[in-house]
Chains A and B, each alone.
Chain A
């Protein structure tokens, strides 16, 4: 468990009515694959937990590592980045950049004591509505287990 981890401070706002922890997760989805995949999950009426709020970006390569840090600093319990499958980037190579950039960031986050489960990446194509639903379920479960993010509380 990381130093800034889970058990010490509980943020009351994050507790659902029944006392269970409902994580607040930010999703950065590329416009062409993952956002469209999430749309497809909708048109196919697949059910998944409502914890991920999606910010649409043109490409996973658009996501500046600062955005992730900002999310975690501002109290998000987790961040999910989803882009096109490697090789299928609408902009040919944006997701290659993203993959490398965030592999480094993930290590860095772990190094500074942030539970690596809080930052996840996935590759979901426009045809994979089912995969999007599955990814959300898994990520929500992972971050639920990681517990509330207390960095923002410490900041205050």
Chain B
């Protein structure tokens, strides 16, 4: 065995705290180490060439690269070994950057630790085995979870490449939050005008299957072969029969507040959430419907000429297979009720940005008039408060929601467009308008639409003489300000959906402390997740405006399509394997496997001259977690790449 150790300077990232020459010198003395050297950048082409040349010249058969985290460059060096003609799984990385030089400042101590880490890797690699990759077939279908603008764009992009897409949307209609908007910044396109053609495009696309009013309830399998259970909630209306004539909801006697209109308007118990809904098929709200609550009425069924109303419909769970999953579950508006000083809930005329959108929308509850919800009178003086649930650590949202500055500038513009006598006041911390034509848009709101921008926080909103008094500070002039307002609009930030963690756990993807889904790499893999075959788009990953959402949707689609064009996928051989001679067939691993990747099979034991049961790992399903190894009392099952022999040798090395 001839092990080569290659110690990286990483410019000065490592060498400024770790004496790399000393590490190489110490490494050269370790058992089985045949050669050790250092280089400025081991991951660079000359660095890799150094490894490859050393393998050939010195006959090295195992390599330790002492550099950064394996999550960054393990693949790089595996490839390097493969090209140099030795098995790619005979390399180990000693992480002396993230785990050493960057976290310690004492040179002697850091060098000592780096040597120990190299020792660990040398010990491990000395017990590594050559492994070969396996291949798994790819199911050529893509699942898109979420039917907002990001899911719609992703579905359209995938379908354009002629691969089947299934879209699952929990609401009765696709369209998401964007469908509620009136106009979009910075061009003031009407949201419905640019969205509805895409919604219809999804509905009419022969490659796209929509499941609205449905939820993903279970995901198993792995990249190329996901098995997904989708719950189709009982709509109580037959999707195939219904023509969308609207007779049912015209006759329905029950009125409840409309979620789509943010509680400003009413809808019926049988309803389509908004006129342009796709599919244009109503749904019965079983909590409100008289048939379901009191077994009376039944009017909708009577008026439906084609018999599409089906009170007996039940939730249905369907199971489908997919090769890739695109997660487009979107965001939720921050719940501003924690800001007691703004008086939301106490004063009817304190509303959110989303309320403003619905009011400004001509098909909305006020027919396009910006009014005071308390008395229905037109609002003239409107105060906008920025950063409600953004950049506020005390309220648990430390990040900037990115869109609120822009949508407030849009609202200020729309306010004046709807009523030329109206006046907008905006309390802001900073105006963040980074985007194409964004700064110009804010400037226009100020210069041409007369919005008054006040830099400071609002301390209190209270009622006096039928008006809302907004008291705040103008930090630029250093004065206290009071504004008599008809309407106060809070610019709520964007936060993760309530069920974000459930979805993440179901998909085995990660989320951060704000419950936003975590990308595989913050810069270089922004739409991938750490679980291969699952991609992210839109605001479920971080707050995004529409252009960014659409861009990530297309990016995620390309990633999914990258899988779809292959017939089979290379699979890392780092999976579990049973040694039949040792296996007693006790089933402990079979029961402990989180993936059901272990099956019990009968083998013919030649020594015992009888048949007996042993466990067998289904390679395509095994994820290589190693839980089975820890429960095996015989030491019969082991996980490649992290074998008992390797880890024991590492422990001995310390």
Query: Could you tell me which A residues sit within 8 Å of B by CB distance?
Result: 24, 26, 31-33, 35-36, 38-39, 41-43, 45-50, 53-59, 61-65, 67, 70-71, 74, 76, 87-94, 97-98, 101, 125-128, 133
Indicate the size class of the contact surface on chain B. 35 or more
- B626-654 at interface with A (beta carbon < 8 Å): 626-627, 629-631, 639, 641-642, 644, 647-648, 650-652, 654
Bound: A24/B654 CA distance, A: 8
**Bitwise interface map of B from 113 to 129 toward A, beta carbon under 8 Å scored 1, else 0:** 10011001000000000
State whether A90 touches B510 (Cβ < 8 A). yes
State whether A62 touches B639 (Cβ < 8 A). yes
Q: A24-B654, A50-B113, A74-B651 are in contact. Are A92 and B103 (CB under 8 A)?
A: no
Does B594 lie at the interface of the complex (its beta carbon under 8 Å from any beta carbon of A)?
Answer: yes
The 8 residue pairs across chains A and B that have the minimum distance between CB atoms:
A42-B98, A62-B626, A91-B625, A61-B627, A42-B102, A59-B625, A50-B113, A39-B98
State whether A45 touches B103 (Cβ < 8 A). yes
Q: Which residue of A lies closest to B98 (CB)?
A: A42
Q: Which residue of B lies closest to A38 (CB)?
A: B99
Q: Which residue of B lies closest to A90 (CB)?
A: B508
Bound: A41/B592 CA distance, A: 32
Given A31-B71, A92-B594, 11 further pairs, Cβ under 8 A:
A26-B651, A41-B98, A42-B98, A54-B95, A56-B642, A58-B639, A59-B627, A70-B651, A70-B652, A74-B651, A126-B518
Residues of A within 8 A of B510 (CB): 32-33, 88, 90, 125-126
State whether A91 touches B99 (Cβ < 8 A). no
State whether B505 touches A87 (Cβ < 8 A). yes
State whether B652 touches A127 (Cβ < 8 A). no
Contact of B630 among A33, A41, A55, A97 (CB under 8 A): A97
State whether B505 touches A88 (Cβ < 8 A). yes
26 contacts between A and B (CB under 8 A): A31-B71, A35-B69, A39-B95, A42-B99, A45-B102, A45-B103, A47-B105, A48-B103, A48-B104, A50-B103, A50-B113, A54-B99, A58-B624, A58-B626, A64-B647, A67-B651, A76-B654, A87-B501, A89-B594, A90-B530, A91-B594, A93-B594, A94-B594, A94-B625, A97-B631, A128-B513
Closest chain-A Cβ to B641's Cβ sits at a distance in Å of: 8
- B88-114 at interface with A (beta carbon < 8 Å): 95, 97-100, 102-106, 109-110, 112-113
State whether A127 touches B518 (Cβ < 8 A). yes
Closest chain-A Cβ to B257's Cβ sits at a distance in Å of: 34
State whether B109 touches A50 (Cβ < 8 A). yes
Does B347 lie at the interface of the complex (its beta carbon under 8 Å from any beta carbon of A)?
Answer: no
Residues of B within 8 A of A35 (CB): 69, 71
State whether B505 touches A92 (Cβ < 8 A). yes
State whether A94 touches B120 (Cβ < 8 A). no
Bound: A49/B532 CA distance, A: 35
Residues of A within 8 A of B113 (CB): 50, 53
Does B623 lie at the interface of the complex (its beta carbon under 8 Å from any beta carbon of A)?
Answer: yes
Contact of A58 among B105, B625, B631 (CB under 8 A): B625
Closest chain-B Cβ to A64's Cβ sits at a distance in Å of: 5
Residues of B within 8 A of A71 (CB): 651, 654
Q: Which residue of B lies closest to A53 (CB)?
A: B116
State whether B98 touches A38 (Cβ < 8 A). yes
Bound: A133/B255 CA distance, A: 56
Residues of A within 8 A of B105 (CB): 47
Q: A38-B98, A55-B650, A101-B630 are in contact. Are A91 and B623 (CB under 8 A)?
A: yes
Bound: A33/B504 CA distance, A: 14
State whether B117 touches A92 (Cβ < 8 A). no
Residues of A within 8 A of B70 (CB): 56
Residues of B within 8 A of A88 (CB): 504-505, 510-511
State whether B647 touches A67 (Cβ < 8 A). yes
Residues of A within 8 A of B623 (CB): 91
Residues of A within 8 A of B508 (CB): 90-92
Q: A53-B117, A57-B647, A88-B510 are in contact. Are A65 and B103 (CB under 8 A)?
A: no
Bound: A31/B531 CA distance, A: 13
Q: Which residue of B lies closest to A63 (CB)?
A: B630
Residues of B within 8 A of A64 (CB): 629-630, 644, 647
State whether B103 touches A42 (Cβ < 8 A). yes
Residues of B within 8 A of A56 (CB): 70, 642
Closest chain-B Cβ to A111's Cβ sits at a distance in Å of: 20
Bound: A126/B639 CA distance, A: 23
Bound: A41/B95 CA distance, A: 13
State whether B512 touches A43 (Cβ < 8 A). no
Bound: A139/B626 CA distance, A: 26
Residues of A within 8 A of B453 (CB): none
Residues of B within 8 A of A46 (CB): 103
Closest chain-A Cβ to B571's Cβ sits at a distance in Å of: 15
Does B595 lie at the interface of the complex (its beta carbon under 8 Å from any beta carbon of A)?
Answer: yes
State whether A133 touches B120 (Cβ < 8 A). no
Residues of B within 8 A of A32 (CB): 510, 530
Residues of A within 8 A of B117 (CB): 53-54
Bound: A105/B468 CA distance, A: 63
State whether A57 touches B627 (Cβ < 8 A). no
State whether A47 touches B103 (Cβ < 8 A). yes
Residues of A within 8 A of B100 (CB): 50
Bound: A101/B109 CA distance, A: 34
Q: Which residue of B lies closest to A87 (CB)?
A: B505
State whether A26 touches B654 (Cβ < 8 A). yes
Residues of A within 8 A of B594 (CB): 89, 91-94
Closest chain-B Cβ to A156's Cβ sits at a distance in Å of: 15
Bound: A38/B501 CA distance, A: 23
**Bitwise interface map of B from 519 to 537 toward A, beta carbon under 8 Å scored 1, else 0:** 0000000000011000000
Closest chain-B Cβ to A30's Cβ sits at a distance in Å of: 9
Contact of A59 among B97, B505, B626, B641 (CB under 8 A): B626
**Bitwise interface map of B from 602 to 638 toward A, beta carbon under 8 Å scored 1, else 0:** 0000000000000000000001111101110000000
Q: A42-B69, A56-B70 are in contact. Are A94 and B98 (CB under 8 A)?
A: no
Bound: A58/B577 CA distance, A: 15
Residues of B within 8 A of A74 (CB): 651-652, 654
Closest chain-A Cβ to B525's Cβ sits at a distance in Å of: 13
Q: A67-B651, A88-B510 are in contact. Are A53 and B627 (CB under 8 A)?
A: no
**Bitwise interface map of B from 149 to 187 toward A, beta carbon under 8 Å scored 1, else 0:** 000000000000000000000000000000000000000
State whether A58 touches B630 (Cβ < 8 A). no
Bound: A97/B233 CA distance, A: 34
Contact of A97 among B512, B627, B651 (CB under 8 A): B627
Residues of B within 8 A of A54 (CB): 95, 99, 117
Residues of B within 8 A of A97 (CB): 592, 627, 630-631
Bound: A58/B638 CA distance, A: 12
Residues of A within 8 A of B99 (CB): 38-39, 42, 54
Residues of A within 8 A of B648 (CB): 67, 70
Bound: A8/B102 CA distance, A: 37
Residues of A within 8 A of B626 (CB): 57-59, 61-62, 94
Bound: A117/B506 CA distance, A: 35
Q: A45-B102, A64-B630, A76-B654 are in contact. Are A53 and B120 (CB under 8 A)?
A: yes
Which of A65, A74, A128 is packed against the most chain B CB atoms within 10 Å? A74
State whether A43 touches B625 (Cβ < 8 A). no
Residues of B within 8 A of A133 (CB): 103
Residues of A within 8 A of B110 (CB): 50
